[in-house]
Amino acid sequence: MEVSDEIVTEAVAWRRHLHQYPELAYQEHRTSEFIASRLSKWGYSVHVGLAGTGVVGTLTRGSSRRSIGIRADMDALPITEQTGVPHASRHAGIMHACGHDGHVAIALAAARAAARLAGIDGTLHFIFQPAEEGEGGARRMVEEGVFRRFPCDSVYALHNWPALPIGTCVAQEGPVMAASATFEVVMSGRGCHGAMPQEGSDSILASSQLVCSLQSIVSRSVSPGAGAVVSVTQLHGGDTWNVIPDRCVIRGTARWLEESVGIVLERRIRQISASVAVAFGCEASVRFERRVPATVNDPESARRVREVAGAHPGLTVVRAMASMGSEDFACMLETTPGCYVWLGAKGEGNFCGLHSPRYDFNDELVPIGSTLWLALIRRSLAPP
């Protein structure tokens, strides 16, 4: 059973409406109201307020205790849109540059179609999550009891993937996206006149050496076969031409797929920072903050998605390398088995990557994604 053309047409209109009114993390009030009003109209029991703006729509049919969760993220990014499309953002400096507007539209289309399904036996939860973009919305929903209040045998989420062609689906077992951490090193020296460097301890020179030395971690402390990244993304120090400053601040991100590798990355960042500081007569203070665990798919849930996708006329199941990007759906997968799915989104005129100011969601994915969810619901809640 495919989602009807009528629902798809309406869902594309919803997607473009949501694109015009993007909202940042924990500010998705208009989006939340939009979702809740439609779910209520279709007969769902609607619950609001989890993690501030989260929405859960629940539908029960029959008497089975089986259950399935479908999650969609809602938040936008602080980016100024440059697409030039008619439905461009009307909120200055904010846009849906990652396709969460499309994820919501896909989930709503599936929810509407599922409400019309006959022959399902169990409970369906549609979970609309705020603050995916680095602000911990999934963890907060879990901590506030989303799976205690709405227990799921398994939970699923998807992401559009512009690097893969439209019509492809990735749903593989094990780690599919990386754990992430931020780090900050404050390199403290002794400031002095730039013309008399021998009188100080140069925090700029020590920081420059540290930036280079940190790159040895992945190449020399981690197996070549393991997924790991250490990237310095900020270097701040000094504010005039002729003064070597007292301190410099280095910030960056670390990513890994296996927890043992994450332990190595943190240990070596601390060790190398301390050693470089001593070598240059400085002191280093290190802060390492773990943000999101690795996104690890349950083998059985991933197999179920592959089987459903394999029967989908618009999809071909493929394998892909795990991404070193991170995804806070991982926090849900730590507590409930499930699968994070990539749907290829690269089509004609759709070549911009995620988080680009020129990105726009490919609406060809609406019927593909919503039909995939509907088929997975039917498979999971079919009568015994």
Q: How confident is the model at residue 235 (pLDDT cuts 50, 70, 90)?
A: very high
Average pLDDT in the chain: 96
CB–CB of 107/377 below 8 Å?
no
* Average pLDDT of span 46-54: 97
Q: Which pLDDT value is given to residue 384?
A: 80
DSSP assignment, residue 116?
Answer: T
* Average pLDDT of span 91-110: 97
Inter-CA distances, 194 with 113, 186, 202, 204, Å: 69, 20, 10, 11
Q: How confident is the model at residue 225 (pLDDT cuts 50, 70, 90)?
A: confident
351 shares a domain with 232: no
Tokens read off for 20: 């015009």
Q: Which pLDDT value is given to residue 347?
A: 78
Tokens read off for 307: 């089987």
Q: Which of 264, 292, 320 is the last residue of a domain?
A: 292
Inter-CA distances, 23 with 92, 100, 256, 300, Å: 11, 11, 30, 35
The Cα 78–Cα 337 span in angstroms is 32
pLDDT at residue 312 greater than cutoff 70 = yes
184 shares a domain with 107: no
Residue with the larger pLDDT of the pair 183 and 1? 183
pLDDT at residue 5 greater than cutoff 90 = yes
In 3D space, the residue among 146, 56, 174 whose CA is nearest the CA of residue 332 turns out to be: 146
pLDDT at residue 350 greater than cutoff 90 = no
* Average pLDDT of span 288-297: 96
Q: Which pLDDT value is given to residue 1?
A: 57
216 shares a domain with 149: no
CB–CB of 62/122 below 8 Å?
yes
User: Would you call 207 helix, strand, or coil by DSSP?
Assistant: helix
Count of alpha carbons within 13 angstroms of residue 248, beta-carbon side: 27
Q: Which pLDDT value is given to residue 311?
A: 93
CATH number of the domain bearing residue 300: 3.40.630.10
Give the chain's end-to-end CA distance (angstroms, integer): 19
User: Would you call 70 helix, strand, or coil by DSSP?
Assistant: strand
* Average pLDDT of span 364-380: 96
pLDDT tens per residue, range 150-207: 999 999 999 999 999 999 999 999 999 999 999 999 999 999 999 999 999 999 999 9
pLDDT tens per residue, range 276-285: 999 999 999 9
CB–CB of 120/59 below 8 Å?
no
336 shares a domain with 279: no
Count of alpha carbons within 13 angstroms of residue 374, beta-carbon side: 26
235 shares a domain with 321: no
* Average pLDDT of span 334-351: 88
204 shares a domain with 157: no
Helices (H), the chain: 5-20, 29-41, 100-115, 137-143, 146-149, 203-214, 216, 259-279, 299-310, 330-333, 365-380
Residue 351 identity (one-letter amino acid): F
DSSP assignment, residue 217?
Answer: I
155 shares a domain with 29: yes
Tokens read off for 104: 């919501």
40 shares a domain with 110: yes
Backbone phi, then psi, for 114, in 5-degree steps? -65, -30
260 burial via Cβ count (<10 Å: 0-12, 13-18, 19+): exposed
129 shares a domain with 59: yes
Q: How confident is the model at residue 118 (pLDDT cuts 50, 70, 90)?
A: confident
Q: How confident is the model at residue 216 (pLDDT cuts 50, 70, 90)?
A: very high
Q: Which of 292, 319, 336 is the last residue of a domain?
A: 292
Q: Which pLDDT value is given to residue 2?
A: 82
Q: Which pLDDT value is given to residue 351?
A: 66
Q: At what angle do helices 100-115 and 29-41 cross, to 10 degrees?
A: 10
CB–CB of 70/373 below 8 Å?
yes
Residue with the larger pLDDT of the pair 71 and 347? 71
CATH number of the domain bearing residue 253: 3.30.70.360
Regarding beta strands 154-165 and 338-346, do their DSSP bridges make them parallel or antiparallel, or are they unpaired?
A: parallel
* Average pLDDT of span 337-356: 87
The Cα 23–Cα 18 span in angstroms is 9
Q: How confident is the model at residue 313 (pLDDT cuts 50, 70, 90)?
A: confident
Q: Which of 251, 269, 292 is the last residue of a domain?
A: 292
CB–CB of 32/75 below 8 Å?
no
Tokens read off for 189: 């020296």
Overall number of domains in the chain: 2
159 shares a domain with 63: yes
Q: Which pLDDT value is given to residue 222?
A: 95
Q: Which pLDDT value is given to residue 182?
A: 97
Q: Which pLDDT value is given to residue 211?
A: 98
The Cα 26–Cα 345 span in angstroms is 27
DSSP string, 337-361: -EEEEEEEEEBTTB-PPTT-TT---
* Average pLDDT of span 99-117: 97
Q: How confident is the model at residue 349 (pLDDT cuts 50, 70, 90)?
A: low
The Cα 174–Cα 296 span in angstroms is 5
Q: Which pLDDT value is given to residue 26?
A: 97
Count of alpha carbons within 13 angstroms of residue 215, beta-carbon side: 7
Range of the domain at 233: 179-292
251 shares a domain with 185: yes
105 shares a domain with 18: yes
* Average pLDDT of span 14-33: 98
